[in-house]
Amino acid sequence: MPSARRDAISAVGVTLIENGEITNSYYTLVNPACPFDPFTVELTGITPEMAAQYPEFDALWPEIRPWLEGALLCAHGASGDLHVLARTLKRYQLEWVETVPFLCTVEAAKQCFPEWERYSLNLVCKALDIPLQHHVASSDAAACAAFLLKCMERDPALPEKARQFDMREAHIVGAAKKRPRRKKTGAALNIENELKKLANKKFAAERRLQYRDTGENVLGVKSKAVKRLAQRIHRKKAAEAFLQDTPHSYLEEDLLHAYLLDLQTSYHACIEKTNAFLPFVENDDVFFALKPKVLLRLPNTLAGECRRWIESENPYTVAFGIRMLSQSIGAKTEEDGFRISDAEHIAGMHIGHPTVSLAAADYFFRLLKFGGDEAADYVRSVVETSAAAKRGMYFYEKDRQAVSVHNAGAQCEADASVSE
């Protein structure tokens, strides 16, 4: 993906396996017809100028489609890749099959190599000596195919465990759907009415353009107004019923849910409710609104939750786990806030989502600033091999320069006062 929109593709890489052997491959750049995230350019090496020389996805679809037609689709973190493909097909109004069978090699790795601690693509390839030029679509696809064959050596019946992905609705068949229309409970319906009273038609139109939405899932309530509503109702029974009534129908309901979780005062209750809500977080607005401070009261216990979140297939759950883990860095806890195994895992992650990239970069920034000498030494040792660590180092150097300039200015003011 070139940006956080999740309905645009800048490169396609496919490797074909037939009768247990790699037989062919396909690769092309794609003009995504949207702005590029600067970090994605740095991560993949694909610039807007390079992509602009290629057709858009709808023009390339006739040559891409035969590679996917009738195949068992496999990828490392497959649901995320299929979600982007489904959203891109919808963006260009391209008709395809309703469902496709798929295997996720992250799940396959956990089944076939349970002795491993981490399962990011670069780490599994390193463990099995599989060549990989990370974040290059053609290389990622070839490496994923080679790894799948290694998994099938241990479990030949692996293809029989394939699941189905709904390409119309962009979710795994059998998984909880996002925002289906449904009959509300009385408490949730009252809250929906409260939100509708705050709706702004002009803002709604802007939001629909931002999310390429028909308007069915967007009311048009500004975040500040949603936050004020959360503060007003969070102690009421209706709020508790609302938190249990997921999935929601509207973006603003998701925002309200996040703000209500931020106001929780019980660590254990907040963990339970956050775990129930995270699978339904699918955009930056809701993700950045979700920052429950109560979880930081027990950083040692929280760390275990974070490590489970980081293993999720949902990129926003992964990003949330990294962010909460980074928040505990430097905290006075029973154990050191820095664990090298966490840093190694984040440094070696297959990061294809901009929000996860930003969370990982912030993690390394906080290691450098608050993690102590051991943490800083580790970040410096991996800065050339980890894009997230490199970006974190960049933020850290910028922060140091800003502090230096501020201190110099303050000293000049102090000297001037003495002179007067």
Q: Which of 69, 86, 53, 84 is nearest to 14 (CA)?
A: 69
Starting at the edge strand found earlier in the chain, the sheet holding 171-172 runs 73-75, 99-104, 163-166, 171-172
279 in the same domain as 223: yes
Q: Which of 87, 85, 78, 64 is nearest to 144 (CA)?
A: 78
| Domain end marker among 297, 315, 333 | 297
CB burial readout 100-109, b (16+ within 10 A) else e: bebbbbbbbb
270 in the same domain as 196: yes
161 in the same domain as 50: yes
271 in the same domain as 214: yes
| Domain end marker among 122, 150, 172 | 172
69 in the same domain as 151: yes
260 in the same domain as 194: yes
Residue 6 domain-assigned?
A: no
Residue 419 domain-assigned?
A: no
> What is the pLDDT, as a whole number, of residue 411?
61
Instruction: Point out which residues pair with 12 in neighbouring strands.
Output: 28
> What is the pLDDT, as a whole number, of residue 65?
96
Q: What is the distance between the alpha carbons of residues 161 and 139, in angstroms, rounded to a whole number?
A: 25
Residue 418 domain-assigned?
A: no
Residue 5 domain-assigned?
A: no
Residue 2 domain-assigned?
A: no
> What is the pLDDT, as a whole number, of residue 229?
94
Residue 415 domain-assigned?
A: no
Q: Which domain holds residue 272?
A: 179-297
Residue 140 domain-assigned?
A: yes
Residues 6+ apart with CB under 8 A from 188: 238, 241, 242, 245, 248
Q: Which of 70, 60, 62 is nearest to 18 (CA)?
A: 70
268 in the same domain as 345: no
What total of structural domains would you count in the chain?
3
Q: pLDDT tens, position by position, for the chain (420 residues)?
A: 666 667 889 999 999 999 999 999 999 999 999 888 776 787 788 999 999 999 999 999 999 999 999 999 999 989 889 989 999 999 999 999 999 999 999 999 999 999 987 788 888 999 999 999 988 999 999 999 999 999 999 999 999 999 999 999 888 887 655 554 444 444 444 788 898 898 887 777 776 666 544 455 788 889 999 999 999 999 888 899 899 888 888 889 999 999 999 999 999 999 999 999 999 998 889 999 999 999 988 887 888 899 899 988 889 999 999 999 988 886 544 444 568 888 888 988 877 788 999 999 999 999 998 888 888 999 999 999 888 899 999 999 988 888 776 666 666 665 555 555
> What is the pLDDT, as a whole number, of residue 167?
93
167 in the same domain as 29: yes
380 in the same domain as 292: no
197 in the same domain as 156: no
| Domain end marker among 297, 331, 353 | 297
329 in the same domain as 252: no
> What is the pLDDT, as a whole number, of residue 72?
96
> What is the pLDDT, as a whole number, of residue 332?
47
CA 302 to mean position of chain CA atoms = 19
Residue 364 domain-assigned?
A: yes
Print the SS3 string covering the chain: CCCCCCCCCCEEEEEEEECCEEEEEEEEECECCCCCCHHHHHHHCCCHHHHHCCCEHHHHHHHHHHHHCCCCEEECCHHHHHHHHHHHHHHCCCCCCCEEEEEEHHHHHHHHCCCCCCCCHHHHHHHCCCCCCCCCHHHHHHHHHHHHHHHHHHCCCHHHHCEEEECCCCEECCCCCCCCCCCCCHHHHHHHHHHHHCCCHHHHHHHHHHCCCCCCCCCCCCHHHHHHHHHHHCCCHHHHHHHHCCCCCCHHHHHHHHHHHHCCCCHHHHHHHHHHHHHHCCCHHHHHHCCCHHHHHCHHHHHHHHHHHHCCCCHHHHHHHHHHHHHCCCCCCCCCCCCHHHHHHHHCCCCCCHHHHHHHHHHHHHHHHHCCHHHHHHHHHHCCCCHHHHHHHHHHHHHHHHHHHHHHHHHHHHHHHHHC
Asked if residues 253 and 192 have their Cβ atoms less than 8 Å apart, the reply is yes
Q: Any idea what the CATH number is for the domain that residue 54 is in?
A: 3.30.420.10
> What is the pLDDT, as a whole number, of residue 302?
87
46 in the same domain as 194: no
